[in-house]
Amino acid sequence: MIAEILSVGTELLLGQITNTDAQYIARELSVFGINQYYQATVGDNMGRFKACLDQAWQRSDIVITTGGLGPTMDDLTKEGVAEYLGLPLEEHAESRQRLESFFASLGRTMTPNNLKQVQFPVGARILRNDHGTAPGAIVEKDGKAIIILPGPPNELLPMFETGVKPYLMERSGEEIHSRVLRFYGIGESALEDRLQDLIKAQQNPTIAPYAGYGEVTLRLTAKVQSGENAMAMLDDVEKQVVGRVGEFLYGYDDDSLASVVVQTMTQQGQTLSVAESCTGGMIADRLISVPGASAVFLGGYVCYHNDAKMRDLGVSGQTIVQYGAVSEQCAREMAEGVRKRTGSDYGLAVTGIAGPDGGTAEKPVGLVYIALASPQGTKVRETHQTRDRQRIRMMSAMTAIDMVRMALK
Amino acid sequence: MIAEILSVGTELLLGQITNTDAQYIARELSVFGINQYYQATVGDNMGRFKACLDQAWQRSDIVITTGGLGPTMDDLTKEGVAEYLGLPLEEHAESRQRLESFFASLGRTMTPNNLKQVQFPVGARILRNDHGTAPGAIVEKDGKAIIILPGPPNELLPMFETGVKPYLMERSGEEIHSRVLRFYGIGESALEDRLQDLIKAQQNPTIAPYAGYGEVTLRLTAKVQSGENAMAMLDDVEKQVVGRVGEFLYGYDDDSLASVVVQTMTQQGQTLSVAESCTGGMIADRLISVPGASAVFLGGYVCYHNDAKMRDLGVSGQTIVQYGAVSEQCAREMAEGVRKRTGSDYGLAVTGIAGPDGGTAEKPVGLVYIALASPQGTKVRETHQTRDRQRIRMMSAMTAIDMVRMALK
């Protein structure tokens, strides 16, 4: 089966928005094993839209359009599809009711142009839009299909998930189930290297590695006939993967290092406090972004300034003079100091040189000390990060949070 | 003049990467007033690439390709262009020298396949790549041009800036100069509304509004004949814009609210400390992301926990019992407490309910108090943010930083 994505919108041709819709759909289609040879983008122009639609229809089985479903004159996707396939437009009663209720709930009068959004080519299957006013549609003809989706990603993604995936499964007679495994502490090429034979031999489930910021993920995808046990197939591949690189696996699907730490600590009844110099609040921010962090997080100190290190964490002036604020000794005193001050089980501290200035031959930009104080004593790691200030800070924050995760094991 | 972007790479068809190159180039072309009617994406396949190239060449004056310039068999853009235009490939001596020096500097032996990267269609103008091994090229024929660019954005953007823009200026006999004005505290539609007649009447310079996260920007772009004074034209439009919405203008180009606050405080010799409950380190993080923040930032406290509010900031238990931790009174005591503790000129504090849990009818999720203590006294603002936890925290952090900016005026 061959599919083609046709993105509609002058704002794409003007570069006003990034076409993340096309990436999302392309990835989902490739997971289904549906081939894609071309993608096209066209503006809000009926003649050019129909020319692109014709080309896509000729060379594929499924055409997926994005955008051009709104209430204005510029929105022409459904009109173009109807003209191209020679189908009249008709109003979809249920969609009209939903639209009217929506306006009523806002206490606003619906202008007549809004009704354009509930007109569809005759015979279309309607895809409900739970996040906007314009429903999508699937129009079939001659064994081929045009899938019409709205442009805004927050409307398109859920519609694809709940409306298009089931259609593709139904059409192919197959179900697709995915699981994302998340790894930290191993690079993409090293991970691929250790799994090379598995990745090469993969057929079903498939194994797809992606490199994220400071982490690597593997997406396992099983394609099964309806009724078959996809979970068992995913479990089996996961077991093989874990046999090779299990020590780096930290979570699944939407997990993050911070969410895993907060959840594990909550389960274990442990608490944490943080003292940050160069990361400057980034670690606290990541932990507190996890709902329920209040059960775990007893306090954070952004002690970028040496006075703050001494005043709030009890770092000795002697240590700063003798070893410097960026030193193993200072990191240790910060971690032990913050643990003592807040009475938390764990005290995490980071001090380093984020640049662009402040580096020396002996202590270059990117040198970062991370310390973790716990009932088992204090550990300090010397790390070296590269590139710009922001990356040095982010990689340090991740490394620090991971140090807590490892200590909880 | 009509241009078409042709993106080359199977990774785009598989959805493994977002096509940010196309957006960037499209925006730059539209700034030049160069029309674009279509964009196309194709995989690493010679037949299909040449078919797309033919279509693009037929319907435009300039074709810009991205990707497919590397050393592997899959990389076929230059080969395809050469075949399509009937031009042989030849080695570019200077590029070969640069490539050999690059490998020598790494102490690595250059494998022969790398030489593919320094072969170009005869007569091409070479675009040096200062951030990677594959140069780009401009090939002209019959008054049209194909501009060949590498795929990685960190290579493409600087090459476009230093190699393609001058070419486009030369071709059009025009120069392009842009200035970005950044606004906070006004929405996109309100800004457009106040500038409606200016935007409608715009010709040169052009005025293009964009909505960012919590802010709005206007990009002013002047197109001039070489030698004309673009800066004066930009100054003139800026003056008109400032006359309407100047009170919301906070900076230019790469400025952020945090960078403006750090720079202004540095100039004025002022200092700041921060006490964060629901924003949990995000304000400190943003301030410290600005190089040189150490001159200004005396300390940050992430006092998500009530104990921390009392211990570190001197908030009274009575206040928390009587008014609650999310209250005007608590925000005030936090701001005054952190100012006193660190001895800073300004003390900034945030306390609120970020959700998803913890809201009540009286104090719903999204209620956030922001306080700023200064030598002029303490001001507290009650704000209401919407949607999810992360957005509530981010909007609160921006509002808080902006409160400092306004106080410094």
Non-local (6+) Cβ contacts of B321 within 8 A are none
- List chain A pLDDT tens, one digit each, 409 residues: 999 999 999 889 988 889 999 999 999 998 888 999 999 999 999 999 999 999 999 999 999 999 999 888 888 999 999 999 999 999 999 999 999 998 888 777 888 889 999 999 999 999 999 888 899 999 999 999 999 999 999 899 999 999 999 999 888 877 778 899 999 998 877 888 899 899 888 888 988 877 777 888 898 988 888 778 899 999 999 999 999 999 999 999 889 999 999 999 999 999 999 999 999 999 999 999 999 999 999 999 999 889 999 999 999 999 999 999 999 999 999 999 999 999 999 999 999 999 998 899 999 999 999 999 999 999 999 999 877 898 899 999 999 999 999 999 8
Q: Are A32 and A172 in contact (CB under 8 A)?
A: yes
User: Cα separation of B250 and B218, whole Å?
Assistant: 12
What predicted TM-score, i.e. pTM, was given to this entire model? Answer: 0.79
Inter-chain residue contact A27 with B19, CB threshold 8 Å: no
- Reference A282, options B330, B339, B280, B292; nearest CA is B280
> Regarding predicted confidence, which is higher, B211 or B110?
B110
Measured at the CA of B333, the angle between CA B330 and CA B338, to 5 degrees, comes to 125
Nearest by CB to residue A280, choosing from B284, B298, B390, is B284
β-strand pairing of A346-352 with B62-66: unpaired
- Reference A70, options A17, A111, A15; nearest CA is A111
Inter-chain residue contact B23 with A37, CB threshold 8 Å: no
- Reference B311, options B328, B333, B287, B329; nearest CA is B333
* Residue B226: pLDDT over 90: no
Residue type, A386: T
B184's torsion region: left (phi>0), alpha (psi -120 to 50) or beta? beta
User: Cα separation of B49 and B7, whole Å?
Assistant: 10
Share of chain B above pLDDT 90, in %: 73
Query: B321: how many CB neighbours lie within 10 A of its CB?
Result: 10
Query: A179: how many CB neighbours lie within 10 A of its CB?
Result: 18
Closest-CA distance of chain B to residue A133, Å: 19
Size of interface A-B (CB pairs under 8 A): 222
Going through B132-173 in order, the beta strands assigned E by DSSP cover: 136-141, 144-149
Cα separation values, A262 from A296, A349, B300, Å: 7, 17, 22
> Regarding predicted confidence, which is higher, B112 or B244?
B244
- What is the 8-class DSSP label of residue B232? H
Going through B118-201 in order, the beta strands assigned E by DSSP cover: 119-121, 125-127, 136-141, 144-149, 174-184
ipTM: 0.78
Is residue B40 helix, strand or coil? Answer: strand
- Nearest chain B Cα to A17, which residue? B23
Closest-CA distance of chain A to residue B91, Å: 31
H/E element, B48: helix B46-59
B353 touches chain A (CB under 8 A): no
Inter-chain residue contact B23 with A45, CB threshold 8 Å: no
Q: Are B15 and A30 in contact (CB under 8 A)?
A: yes
